[in-house]
Chain A
């Protein structure tokens, strides 16, 4: 079964609108990583969060790790067509097992 839940499954936005995807785990995670996969491509590492309540920013992208280390979010401000792709979270459990969420597919209309 799915160890890490991710919502929404799909998101269609107009260019310039904001976008958020959420990741939830039933158990505490050691850390969480975020990846982006373009259509037909492979996952590309974006960032890792380790500390409870951690917030990191990369230009228009803001990543958050929940206080209980069970949830995380990725927020994109003012989306651009280059943001199109599927965004995955991957939570680390039991030291060496990464569990990927099912991904949120983002489509940006120009």
Chain B
């Protein structure tokens, strides 16, 4: 049984560019959440997908968007990158969303995005 894998591990982009980050959820998990973790801070909830539909969103602007595919893998897209978008982006999968999730989220190792 594989865990959550994210790609790429590191990425450098220029302000104004667009970026796509990818996540393969743990086998059997149909729920994926994305988090932004700035250095020394806790993960900030971006959004969650359950069975290919977004079913929860944090306080992030619309230029943060996502997709979940039929195999439950997921993408995070960020348009018009800003310097403050530099952070570790974590993907987490679970068997079920929200209150139904009794076993917590399994996190990937993250993608370190640097915007210059």
Contacts and interface: CB of A to CB of B under 8 A. Distances in A.
Interface of A: 6, 30-31, 33, 35, 41-48, 88, 90, 92, 94-103
A88 B43 contact: yes
Given A43-B90, A44-B107, A97-B56, A92 B43 contact: no
Contacts of B98: 30, 92, 95-96
B110 A45 contact: no
Interface residues of B, number: 28
A7 B39 CA distance: 17
Contacts of A94: 56
B58 interface: yes
A94 B45 CA distance: 13
| Residue picked from B35, B48, B97, B98, most chain A C-beta under 10 Å | B98
B58 A45 contact: no
A30 B97 CA distance: 13
20 contacts: A31-B99, A33-B105, A35-B107, A41-B109, A42-B108, A43-B90, A43-B92, A43-B107, A45-B106, A48-B103, A96-B55, A96-B56, A96-B98, A97-B45, A97-B48, A97-B56, A98-B45, A98-B105, A100-B35, A101-B42
A87 B40 CA distance: 12
Give 9 nearest A-B pairs by CB, closest first: A45-B104, A96-B56, A100-B42, A96-B98, A42-B107, A100-B43, A102-B42, A95-B98, A43-B107
Contacts of B108: 42
Given A43-B107, A48-B104, A98-B33, A92 B45 contact: no
A43 to B, nearest CB: 5
A43 B105 CA distance: 9
B41 interface: yes
A107 to B, nearest CB: 14
B27 interface: no
